[in-house]
Amino acid sequence: MTTAFVYDPFERFHTFLGHPECHQRMESALALLESDGILDTLARLPNAPASIDAIRAVHSASYVEQLQALSQPVDASAATAQDVAAMWLDPDTYLFGASYEAALRAAGGLLQLTDAVMTGQAANGFSMNRPPGHHARPHSAKGFCLFGNAAVAARHAQERHGAQRILIVDFDVHHGNGTEEMFYDDPTVLFISIHQYPHYPFSGGMYDCGSAAGEGFNVNIPFPDGVGDAGYLAAVRQLVTPLAQEFAPDVIFLSAGYDGHWMDPLSGHRLSVSGYAALAQELLALAESLCGGRLICALEGGYDLNAMPHCILSTLRVLSHSRAPVSDPFGAVEGRPDAADKVIAAVKRQLGIR
């Protein structure tokens, strides 16, 4: 069984130079992955745009139509998206003529990966997609995100492959508000977000735990600044693991944002590459014990062009059971696990976890 990998170069047409969420993120990551040689050991999947029906499973038809109307067909001969003016959907999220197609392909890549894992063609996998997805709301774009990639794929796993229970873990440093909103009243999807709080998008409080039938199936772990590797690892071991064991998912999705790294300009959580590799190892072991190893990873944030590529490489080494060590040339900085302990204890009390 192999680890699958999907990347669609069309994403380069959706980029705004100088913006933290730009093509240079993929360019730097691909350069490291290619020089390392790990791509030769993975199952490279072809990509195709997601169907409109798949997108509308979590987004409103009016929003999809609006985004399509605002976009124009891309001239594939153009060197970059900078040949035309950007439209801003909110203060952080830009749109070019190619953006709608790029967003369809970002979601589509994750659907291809989901199909491969759910049908047993691959053991697990990683979609290096952009634009990212976890801030996109059912009716609007937000925070660099156009379509909710992980949410689209989770619903696809249910509707196409018969998955009954989906676990989505989001360790991006920013709260996955869009994913939360899409499944807030849905008991078939357990969503767990570990994030910096208060921090953009200024949501994800501890007591936001779902509504109606979905109450208790939305879990936020809102950490203060600087908790570091030990804080995140403790959250996975003491909260994510027992919740997942009780929920018994058919598949685990990971919104893999690496913007909690201590070098990242958009956060202050002080994680390291080695810390992220340890989280990936814990989640892979959890998937192997609960759902046949089905762990499907979608890239979210990560904006330091040096650290993020090594986070992706090290995650791929974990997923593929590579004998190569963690690729961490930057090392770790001291965190504040005591601050994390207080939050973990409070979440345990709220959820009744001993």
Domains present along the chain, CATH in parentheses: 3-351 (3.40.800.20)
Phi, psi of 98 (to 5 degrees): -90, -10
State the pLDDT at residue 127. 98
Mapped onto helix, strand or coil, the DSSP state of residue 145 is strand
Residue 284: predicted pLDDT: 98
- Mean pLDDT value of segment 192-209: 97
Residue position matching structure tokens 């936001």: 208
User: Known catalytic residues?
Assistant: 135
End-to-end CA distance of the chain: 36
Query: Is 0.85 topped by the overall pTM?
Result: yes
CA quadruple 238, 301, 144, 5: dihedral sign: negative
Query: What integer pLDDT is reported at residue 47 of this predicted model?
Result: 94
The Cα–Cα gap between 112 and 127 comes to 9
- Give me 25's structure tokens: 């993120």
pLDDT of 79 strictly over 50 = no
Residue 327: which residues within 8 A CB-CB, separation 6 or more?
Answer: 36, 273, 310, 313, 314, 317
Give Cα 169 to chain centroid, integer Å.
8
Question: Does residue 254 register a pLDDT over 50?
Answer: yes
Q: In degrees rounded to 5, what are phi and psi of residue 131?
A: -65, 155
Distance, CA of 76 to CA of 95 (rounded, Å)? 16
- Is pLDDT of 81 > 80? no
Is the separation of the CB atoms in 50 and 152 below 8 Å? yes
pLDDT tier, 73 (very low <50, low <70, confident <90, very high otherwise): low
Please, what sign has the CA dihedral across residues 340, 345, 346, 348?
A: positive
pLDDT at 86: 87
Encoding tokens for residue 251? 């598949």
Task: Check pLDDT > 60 for residue 9.
Answer: yes
